[in-house]
A and B are shown apart, each in its own frame.
Chain A
Amino acid sequence: MAFQNYRWGTAGIGGMFGLSMTITLFFPSFDFRSAESTWVGLDKAMSNGRVIGFSYEDPTVTGQGKPLTVILNKDPKTGATIDPPVRAYVYQPGTPFASPLNHPDNLGPTVKRLSIDKGKIDQANKAQGAVFTINHADVNGEEWAYAENASVTRGWTVDAALSTAGDANTKYVGRGKSIYIHEGCWWCHTLLPEHTQDWQVFGTPPYLGDFNGEMPTAFGSDRKAPDILHVASRNSSREWMMMHFFNPRLVQPNSIMPRFDYLWGRVDINGNPIDFSTWRKEYTAYRKGERPYPPEVPEYARNAEIRALIDWVLTSLK
């Protein structure tokens, strides 16, 4: 009898833990599956690519194998003006597709149907690459955003999309988000304005469908710095971002943010080596009042990590 009690005890542990997993994991899974992706959700998922964080294509989390986000003001095929400009997500051949493009169930039932019926996303393939965009459709008087495979529906090729956009309108959003994760920015900044007075300063809290297909969501829990979910709506100056990342004390003397000057790499935009030690000496002199102005922040190179990070901040965090 005594031995049986322990068998009941063991069964009790399994049963209770199983019940709690049923309530906290299985039941909510129905809610999660029915979440319909919003425009924000589609934009984030398609610009981030398959996975941010450790993955086969990007083990070092530095942004390998990520799609490019381009801003198009002309149709890459016909050359007709597009006003207002649209975003397109360019998956060069071999770039792994974002999770909802591989598994449309992640889009939610209605968005999935629209994205397949109208958007033809099931006709894209990784080996050839594709250009995706976000379109809108009317369903029972309501406007829905859905993913569209523009390579099929509009004949936009990867090369045409990239050359139409040009370097200035090509944004390394997926790579930038990878650097956000790699550098651990999210240990201090959150991406989740709260349902209190927060929204008056930091903007609206996210909606249910804003996360479909995103990985990782990196909400952040320990806020030692402002929420940045909508930072680009408050401040969209690329120059300010540059100075702030190079040395936050240049624009905000009391900031405790680390310097991210190392994201500039070795050379500036003209290929000249960046002399960090001279820069720091001059900056120290400025802080001591020995110089009237701080030294100039070097222009970053075209493919510097900092470019991708600023691209992500200014494009994705609106």
Chain B
Amino acid sequence: MLFKYLFAKNEDIPSGSATIFFGFSSILWFIVGTGLGSFNAAKLAFPDFVTGVEMFAFGHMRQVHVLAVILGWISMAFAMTMMYMTPALGNTKLWSEKLGLWTAFLWNVGLSLGLTLLWSGFTSGREYSDLIWPIDLVVIFGVLLPLGINVWMTIAQRRTQGIYITNWFFGACIFMLITTFLVGNSPELFNLTGLTEAYLTFWFAHNVLGLWITPVAAGIAYYVLPKLTGNPLYSHRIGHLHFWSIIAFYSTPASHHLLSAPLPEWLKSFASVEGVLILIPAVAFVANILLTMKGRWSMFVENVETKFTITGVLLAIPLNMQGGFQQTRAINWYIHGTGWIVAHAHLALLGMSSFLEVAAVYFGLQQMMRRKLYSLALANVHYWFFIIGFCTYWISMTIAGLIQGAGKIYEVPYIDVVIAEHPYMIARWVGGTMVFTGNMIWLYNMYMTAREGTLVPKGRYAHELAYER
């Protein structure tokens, strides 16, 4: 086990230990997160499913699902990729493998504690920043800052002249995430109230998605796909267009989440206009990745990591088309607060982002453990459970959202909307449960890879080897 390295000398810790610790942790949190999601969805379809117990009430579990997925699965998968991509791109070693292991350890402990407290009802009552402020401080200073120091120092110690686009994303996004956590939680730390609190809640919520979850996932794809296909990235310059337009435009549209609240009108209009500009980085990203596939499209079928990556990139198209336009007043009035937004949020987190991270975790774990994936068949089962489950969820929630929007503007009594949504709530539960099942298959596959996967010889990549099973 990796715990023995927590007190070892840094030089004695094998490279890749932090990657492996983070990798398996992230898969476990993915199972926890999607399992909670499936449980919650069952409650929305069948309200008397597990009833009358405070700890299993929907209002106690919904936020645990969200934060287990964001801070457990997605962010740990990001940390995992940073632990192996950053040094590889700088042609060097990770600055401190020991710090990486401690970060992973503290992260698991802190998140378990925070989510348990949240589950019991210790909450700040603020969406996405619901963790109580002592836990926020643990996240900032115990988790994000050590992760950032490790990544920044590795970049600084690189033995290459340039900095590849992925590392630009990693370094900048950790910095912006720490700032977002500090500023976004200032209402709790300094007792800021009223509209300031409401606005900062969504300033946090927007930035944690727009400056962390989607750009880092894109940065990962910029590494994984050239590695897998052997093609160089189509254009590093277009990658920089992506990177800089994210920083310039997508750090500003926070108030498009609150178009109905009495915020200053200039702020809402500014946010809506800036929000449409997400199309610039989106087109740059998708075009760059798809053009990188030139001549290697067979890998989309044959190679499971490529399959996950390309699926994630293709899902970025509807994601950004929705994201750019649904936040304008012309469309937002219809779909605000409906299941459409839930579908969109899952398109970003479970669709685009998660598919890219799953590919990176598959790729990185094989690379760092020097073992070939145990079973291609199981990986494909994982893929199909994931994509069919996700699409079921996404489509059913989009339809439910459109029904809800129509009910809202035509003043249909609310209970009729609830009745009309019922079949889609069942579909959402089925879809979520499929994703959950696929993830358990994934964990088994990775566990067997660690134990019985074919050893990868030095200087070779796992995906270059033929499967033996």
> Which residues 400-426 in B have Cβ within 8 Å of A in the complex?
404, 408-411, 414-415, 418-419, 425
With A194-B260, A258-B51 already in contact, the answer to whether A25 and B183 are too (CB < 8 A) is yes
Residue of A nearest to B206 (CB): A24
Q: Tell me whether A16 and B59 are in contact in the complex, defined as CB-CB below 8 angstroms, given that A54-B188, A215-B197 are known contacts.
A: no
Count of residues in A whose CB is under 8 Å from the partner chain: 85
The chain B residue sitting closest to A218, CB to CB, is: B125
Query: What are 16 pairs between A and B in contact, CB < 8 Å?
Result: A16-B248, A21-B179, A28-B263, A29-B196, A61-B125, A184-B121, A195-B260, A201-B414, A208-B262, A214-B197, A215-B187, A219-B198, A221-B337, A225-B418, A255-B415, A258-B43
Q: Is the CB of B260 within 8 A of A24?
A: no
Roughly how many angstroms separate A305 CA and B71 CA in the complex, as a whole number? 32
B-contacting 9-mer, from A85-93, A146-154, A185-193: A185-193
Does A2 lie at the interface of the complex (its beta carbon under 8 Å from any beta carbon of B)? yes
- Would A184 and B248 be within 8 Å (CB), given that A23-B270, A53-B124 are in contact? no
Whether A211 and B125, one on each chain, are in contact in the complex, defined by CB atoms closer than 8 angstroms, is no
Residue in A6, A59, A221 whose beta carbon sits within 8 Å of that of B122 in the complex: A59
Q: Are B408 and A197 in contact (CB under 8 A)?
A: yes
Whether A35 contacts B194 by the Cβ 8 Å rule is yes
Tell whether, in the assembled complex, residue A222 and residue B341 are in contact, meaning their CB atoms are under 8 Å apart: yes
Known: A32-B194, A223-B338, A223-B404. A183 touches B44 (CB 8 A): no
Nearest to A37 among chain B residues (CB) is B194
Contacts of A6 in B (CB 8 A): 163
* Chain A CB within 8 A of B290 CB: no
1/0 per residue A195-228: CB within 8 Å of B? Answer: 1111011000111101111111111111111100
For this complex, into which size category does the number of interface residues on chain B fall? 35 or more
Q: Evaluate contact between B44 and A99: CB separation under 8 angstroms.
A: no
Residues of chain A within 8 A of B125, CB atoms compared? 52-53, 61, 181, 186, 216, 218
Residue pair B191, A195 in contact (C-beta under 8 Å): no
Q: Is the CB of B123 within 8 A of A99?
A: no
CB closest residue in chain B, given A260:
B57
Contacts A6-B163, A219-B198 given; indicate if A53 touches B126 (C-beta within 8 A). yes
- Bound CA span A216–B333, Å: 24
Inside 8 A of B244's CB, which chain A residues have their CB?
12, 16
Q: Could you tell me if A211 and B198 are in contact, using CB atoms closer than 8 angstroms?
A: yes
Residues of A near B172 (CB, < 8 A) are 13
The segment out of B2-10, B98-106, B250-258, B378-386 that lies at the interface is B250-258
- A235 part of interface (Cβ distance < 8 Å): no
With beta carbons under 8 angstroms apart, the residue of B58, B126, B193, B267 that contacts A99 is B193
Verify if B93 is at the interface (C-beta below 8 Å from A): no
Contacts A23-B252, A197-B411 given; does A205 touch B260 at CB 8 Å: yes
Indicate if B199 sits at the interface (CB-CB under 8 A): yes
- In the complex, B238 has a CB within 8 A of chain A: no
Q: Does B452 contact A (CB under 8 A)?
A: no
Which A residues contact B (CB, under 8 angstroms)? 2, 6, 9, 12-13, 16-17, 20-21, 23-25, 27-29, 31-32, 35, 41, 45, 50-54, 59-62, 99-100, 106, 181-188, 190, 192-198, 200-201, 205-208, 210-226, 248-249, 252, 254-262, 276, 280
Known: A16-B248, A225-B414; 11 extra A-B contacts, CB below 8 A, are A9-B163, A17-B251, A62-B121, A99-B193, A194-B337, A197-B411, A201-B411, A211-B194, A254-B418, A255-B415, A258-B59
Q: A31-B264, A226-B414 are in contact. Are A184 and B59 (CB under 8 A)?
A: yes
Q: Which residues of B contact A29 (CB under 8 A)?
A: 196
- Cα–Cα distance between A9 and B239 once the two chains are bound (Å): 14
A35, A187, A200, A224 pick with most chain B CB within 10 angstroms: A224
Q: Which of B125-162 contact A (CB under 8 A)?
A: 125-127, 132-133, 161-162
User: Would A194 and B336 count as touching, CB distance under 8 A?
Assistant: yes
Contact of B255 among A24, A185, A190 (CB under 8 A): A24
Rounded to whole angstroms, the CA-CA distance of A221 and B130 in the bound complex is 14
With a cutoff of 8 Å between Cβ atoms, the chain B residues found around residue A186 in the complex are 59, 125
A258 touches B57 (CB 8 A): yes
Report the Cα distance A217→B410, complex, angstroms. Answer: 28
Residues of A within 8 A of B179 (CB): 17, 21
Please, how many angstroms separate the alpha-carbon atoms of A182 and B57 in the complex? 11
- Asked if B47 lies at the interface with its beta carbon under 8 angstroms from chain A, I say yes
Q: Looking at the assembled complex, report how far the CB atom of A183 sits from the nearest CB atom of chain B, in whole angstroms.
A: 5
Partner of B59, one of A45, A185, A200, A215: A185
Identify B247's interface contact among A13, A41, A276, CB under 8 A: A13
Given the complex of chains A and B, what is the CA–CA distance between A13 and B169 in angstroms? 11
CB-contact partner of A258 in B58, B123, B197, under 8 A: B58
Interface residues of B in 45-92 (CB under 8 A from A): 47-48, 51-54, 57-60, 62-63
Flag whether B300 is at the interface (Cβ < 8 A).
no
Contact (Cβ within 8 A) B251 A16: yes
Contact call B123/A9, Cβ cutoff below 8 A: no
Q: Cα distance A100–B196 when bound, in Å?
A: 14
- Greatest chain B CB density within 10 A among A17, A41, A196, A261 is at A17
Residues of A within 8 A of B60 (CB): 183-184
Q: How far is the CA of A59 from the CA of B43 in the complex (A)?
A: 28
By a CB distance below 8 angstroms, the chain A residues around B194 are 32, 35, 41, 106, 211-215, 217
Q: Does B342 contact A (CB under 8 A)?
A: yes
Report chain A residues within 8 Å CB of B408: 194, 196-198
Question: Which residue of A has the minimal Cβ distance to B202?
Answer: A221
C-alpha spacing A23/B264, complex, angstroms: 12
Given contacts A28-B263, A205-B260, contact A60 B247 (CB under 8 A): no
A198 to B411: give the CA distance in the assembly, Å: 7
**B314 proximity list for chain A (CB < 8 A):** none
Q: Is B315 an interface residue (CB 8 A)?
A: no
Nearest neighbor of A179 in chain B, beta-carbon distance? B121
Contact call A276/B123, Cβ cutoff below 8 A? no
A196 and B52 in contact (CB under 8 A), knowing A16-B248, A52-B125, A225-B414? no
Question: By the criterion CB–CB under 8 Å, are B122 and A99 in contact?
Answer: no
